[in-house]
Amino acid sequence: MRAIRVAEFGGAEQLQLAEDLPELQPGPREVRIAVAASGVNFIDIYHRTGLYPLTLPMTPGVEGAGTVDAVGAEVHGFSPGDRVAWVSVNASYADQALVPADRLIPIPDGVEIKTAAALLLQGMTAHYLVADTFPLVAGQRTLVHAAAGGVGRLLVQLAKQRGAVVYATVSTDDKARMVTELGADAVIRYDQVDVAAEVTSLTDGVGVDVVYDSVGQATLDGSLASLRRRGTLVSYGNASGAITDFSPLRLSQSGSLYLTRPTLADYVVERDELLARAEELFTLVNSGSLDVLVHREYALADAKQAHTDLASRGTVGKLLLVTSG
């Protein structure tokens, strides 16, 4: 088998293709997958750099999709040839993966394997953010940072389906057109205007109910200043760097604000919850109500370029490493 291996934490150059590795053997309650595609996500960069350290050497990648190749003992409900996907399971940058059977998600008819690989981590993240972390209801106002990114463009769509008013930040005219077509009520060019001032103007001085912020350190001040009294900042990513040296006093001084830092793993702990989120997303895709955009596909050997492109923040939608089909 082939896999991307990381021997030391560091830059994209640490992503090295290893060939002729031993074939994986599924243990009890494990399933071996012939990987068709794996998603490229910021968490993979955090694993590679050591911000979220894993035991070295390691294979990055936490989501993917493919077909069942072999099943271990005590596995029920899956057979060779089944189309499946997974999320929050390590070592997906490879042409084989071992996945616990209770973490596998059947791909329904009508959904392509590559679409499933592109959807789950970012789609489930967007889903729990609007459904559970801050359950949006009709008429509430939200600010979505990096709205043309993988999670951002799905957040815009899911928030609009809930009847929210969506303000979206982007960096280019092309991205602005994209998120407008997805339903954003106003688009803010963060490279041209002060975001908080623009939000204040759009909301007649009130502010938004919630900010969904995947950027981190660079947008913290603007996000806090964009909130209404007792508003909520949902900080779910560190694209510009992790937030450090933050005093809780800032929350009281800014209007008794709330700050939360959620992660997907805590919203898919139970298998029923994992399957329910996936089912809702797949249903939206099959009905044409959720647009999943794959920005670019890369060969497994080009993982370094995929990480470089993702970190540049010049991409929109999803990046995939494709190993077959």
* Mean pLDDT score of the chain: 94
Tell whether 97 is covered by a domain.
Answer: yes
CATH number, domain of 276, equals 3.90.180.10
pLDDT at position 325 is 52
Half-sphere exposure of 58 (CA within 13 A, CB side): 22
191 in the same domain as 274: no
Using alpha carbons only, how large is the chain's radius of gyration in Å? 20
Residues 6+ apart with CB under 8 A from 88: 62, 63, 103, 121, 264, 265, 268
State the residue range of the domain holding 175: 138-261
**Which of 29-33, 41-45, 275-279 shows the lowest per-residue confidence on average (mean pLDDT)?**
41-45
101 in the same domain as 79: yes
pLDDT at position 268 is 95
Q: Which residue, chain included where needed, has tokens 């021997």? A: 7
Residues 6+ apart with CB under 8 A from 198: 167, 188
282 in the same domain as 251: no
143 in the same domain as 257: yes
pLDDT at position 315 is 78
Tell whether 149 is covered by a domain.
Answer: yes
Q: Is the pLDDT of residue 18 over 80?
A: yes
pLDDT at position 94 is 97
272 in the same domain as 253: no
Q: What pTM value is reported for the model?
A: 0.91
User: What are the tens digits of pLDDT across the range 203-219?
Assistant: 999 999 999 999 888 88
User: What are the tens digits of pLDDT across the range 311-324?
Assistant: 887 778 899 999 96
Tell whether 131 is covered by a domain.
Answer: no
Coil, helix or strand at residue 195: helix
Tell whether 129 is covered by a domain.
Answer: no
Token pair belonging to 284: 């939206």
Tell whether 162 is covered by a domain.
Answer: yes
Q: How many domains does the chain have?
A: 2
pLDDT at position 244 is 82
pLDDT at position 217 is 81
User: What are the tens digits of pLDDT across the range 130-149?
Assistant: 999 999 999 999 999 999 98
Tell whether 126 is covered by a domain.
Answer: no
User: Percent of the chain having pLDDT more than 90?
Assistant: 87
Which among 261, 287, 311 is the end of a domain?
A: 261
Tell whether 228 is covered by a domain.
Answer: yes
62 in the same domain as 150: no
pLDDT at position 241 is 77
CA–CA dist 71, 66 (Å, integer): 14
User: What are the tens digits of pLDDT across the range 74-113?
Assistant: 999 999 999 999 999 999 999 999 999 999 999 999 999 9
Which among 261, 285, 305 is the end of a domain?
A: 261
164 in the same domain as 79: no
CA–CA dist 318, 295 (Å, integer): 5
- Residue 91 region by backbone torsions, left for phi larger than 0, else alpha for psi between -120 and 50, else beta: left
Tell whether 302 is covered by a domain.
Answer: yes
Burial class (CB in 10 A: 0-12, 13-18, 19+), 273: middle
